[in-house]
Chain A
């Protein structure tokens, strides 16, 4: 996602494209603003791939994540759960256009961007130019495409949080929380890690496609939501069996396919690194799915469909920060670690502490994100990104990234939830919860 580290330059797919890219790079070194260029510098191959990736990542939220979550809730809350992902998609699109993109990707300071691209101003002038991230790093794609690609990440991150408070949050409260969260939590953390001026990127935190920015971020926010909202009525006593695990399987499969846009797209180029990210993603996901399946088979006696698809999602999460930094061998190890680790955290650990993280937002995204972020520091392969590779020092830097995300996201989420709780209230009434959110909040239901 952060397209190039220092000293790195984009490479085109073919010979002609790469020589063109070299020319572009050379001119970058010589003439600094490079705005007066007469030859087009947009790389069509890279742009085509990024347009495709953007569509793939949007597919992850609608309908991928929407179906994944809706399949796991009870019949009376299926439509409300689908509605959450869809509404967040629309809300964050507008938020990102108005202020989110500007706060995340303009220069600003080390902690947050500025308002120089409020309402995406400036797009009318630069629409046919290659986008220089932070004015310095050439992405070789138009800024409209870069902004859209990043928008799809900004959309899925809050949508992931919905898994933690399933079945019990007011729709109005959720809309307000998600908009505020996108502005005050997502944009700053994306800025830290992926902008040219952010402190985490400068420190050397490796996060290829969003282990910290997307998954740990959403995971900890979800855990805070689960704790602040409290358990569902009847949790641990009533039969809360999923409406349709088949929906969850379809949703997880769409997530898997869309994730190639998420991870391989984060190379911001159609190049060897994107290919390696794709390979690592596939291998880690399969390994994690098998890890979860066998762990469940051994401890509970049966390998469940919900188990294997949950394991696949855990693997996708864990390989996210690592994908452009590791080779296929380590991807397998990261996958197995995520499958088994997330299984334990979503079952035994959750039951031990007794919190109702209903669809395991923390257990899968938080824990999987942390496993992936830390193992990236261990297994990073230097030549792939022009860095020094995995080391104890890199692991320590990864820890800073993880801890900072946990603190900022957890703390801000808590504050936002408390403010909303005091003003309009967070939770639906007990009667509404028993009756189901589909009919009480949206006036629709599955018969």
Chain B
């Protein structure tokens, strides 16, 4: 099993969810996060006081999938979240040792 974690632009969230559903993805966790990459930050000015905002708002999505689906998921996210402009985000792919469904105690593939 793999965990796909992606940091994307907030307004791309719905596009990504729509792209993942047809692949059979059963669940998704979303968090509002802040951070910076090459996009760096923005400058805010309030009555002449300039603040450089280093951390921009992003959305982090996490989805655990069977290993054979992982590549398709990565590709779907990449296509859906793409704008071509700096700040589109990143996708991280990692191994998952074990998954447990809390309600039933099912593990691994059954729990996904």
Whether both chains belong to one complex is answered with yes
**Chain A residues proximal to chain B, CB less than 8 Å:** 72, 239-242, 245, 300, 302, 304, 306-307, 310, 346-348, 350-351, 360
* Docked-complex contact B47 and A351, CB < 8 angstroms: no
Most chain A Cβ neighbours within 10 Å, of B46, B47, B52: B47
Query: Which residues of A are found within 8 Å of B49, using beta-carbon distances?
Result: 240
* Docked-complex contact B48 and A240, CB < 8 angstroms: no
* Docked-complex contact A347 and B44, CB < 8 angstroms: no
Point out the residue from A72, A241, A350, A360 that lies within 8 Å of B44, measured CB to CB: A241
**B51 touches A (CB below 8 Å):** yes
* Docked-complex contact A240 and B51, CB < 8 angstroms: yes
* Docked-complex contact B53 and A347, CB < 8 angstroms: no
* Docked-complex contact A239 and B53, CB < 8 angstroms: yes
Give B52's nearest chain A residue, CB to CB: A239
Point out the residue from B48, B51, B52, B53 that lies within 8 Å of A300, measured CB to CB: B48
Point out the residue from B45, B51, B52, B53 that lies within 8 Å of A304, measured CB to CB: B45
- A-B pairs, 10 with minimum CB distance: A347-B48, A239-B51, A300-B45, A346-B47, A241-B51, A306-B46, A241-B44, A242-B46, A347-B47, A306-B47
Point out the residue from B47, B51, B53 that lies within 8 Å of A360, measured CB to CB: B47
* Docked-complex contact B47 and A302, CB < 8 angstroms: no
State the Cβ distance, A293 to closest chain B Cβ, in Å.
12
* Docked-complex contact B51 and A307, CB < 8 angstroms: no
* Docked-complex contact A346 and B48, CB < 8 angstroms: yes
* Docked-complex contact B48 and A348, CB < 8 angstroms: yes
* Docked-complex contact B48 and A241, CB < 8 angstroms: no
Please report which residues of chain B, range 5-57, place their CB below 8 angstroms from some CB of chain A when the two chains form the complex.
Answer: 44-49, 51-53
State the Cβ distance, A29 to closest chain B Cβ, in Å.
53
Give A238's nearest chain B residue, CB to CB: B51
Query: Which residues of A are found within 8 Å of B46, using beta-carbon distances?
Result: 72, 241-242, 245, 304, 306
Q: What are 15 residue pairs bridging A and B, where the CB atoms are less than 8 Å apart in the complex? A: A239-B51, A240-B49, A240-B51, A242-B46, A245-B46, A302-B45, A304-B45, A304-B46, A306-B47, A307-B47, A346-B47, A348-B48, A350-B48, A351-B48, A360-B47
State the Cβ distance, B34 to closest chain A Cβ, in Å.
12
State the Cβ distance, B40 to closest chain A Cβ, in Å.
15
State the Cβ distance, A432 to closest chain B Cβ, in Å.
23
Query: Which residues of B are found within 8 Å of A310, using beta-carbon distances?
Result: 47
CA distance A154 to B110 in the complex (A): 72
CA distance A310 to B46 in the complex (A): 11
Give A348's nearest chain B residue, CB to CB: B48
Query: Which residues of A are found within 8 Å of B48, using beta-carbon distances?
Result: 300, 346-348, 350-351
CA distance A245 to B44 in the complex (A): 12
Give A306's nearest chain B residue, CB to CB: B46
CA distance A304 to B49 in the complex (A): 12
Query: Which residues of B are found within 8 Å of A350, using beta-carbon distances?
Result: 48
CA distance A350 to B51 in the complex (A): 16
CA distance A306 to B45 in the complex (A): 10
Query: Which residues of B are found within 8 Å of A351, using beta-carbon distances?
Result: 48
Give A300's nearest chain B residue, CB to CB: B45
CA distance A239 to B49 in the complex (A): 9
Give B53's nearest chain A residue, CB to CB: A239
CA distance A72 to B46 in the complex (A): 9
Query: Which residues of A are found within 8 Å of B51, using beta-carbon distances?
Result: 239-241
CA distance A171 to B47 in the complex (A): 26
Query: Which residues of B are found within 8 Å of A306, using beta-carbon distances?
Result: 46-47
Please report which residues of chain B, range 46-90, place their CB below 8 angstroms from some CB of chain A when the two chains form the complex.
Answer: 46-49, 51-53
CA distance A302 to B45 in the complex (A): 9
CA distance A240 to B52 in the complex (A): 11
Query: Which residues of A are found within 8 Å of B45, using beta-carbon distances?
Result: 300, 302, 304
Query: Which residues of B are found within 8 Å of A360, using beta-carbon distances?
Result: 47
Contacts A239-B53, A242-B46, A300-B45 known; list 8 others, CB within 8 Å.
A239-B44, A239-B52, A241-B46, A245-B46, A307-B47, A310-B47, A348-B48, A350-B48
Give A72's nearest chain B residue, CB to CB: B46
CA distance A346 to B48 in the complex (A): 8
CA distance A241 to B44 in the complex (A): 8
State the Cβ distance, B24 to closest chain A Cβ, in Å.
38
CA distance A348 to B49 in the complex (A): 10
CA distance A300 to B47 in the complex (A): 10
Most chain A Cβ neighbours within 10 Å, of B48, B51, B52, B53: B48
CA distance A188 to B52 in the complex (A): 46
CA distance A242 to B48 in the complex (A): 13
CA distance A346 to B46 in the complex (A): 10
CA distance A8 to B44 in the complex (A): 52
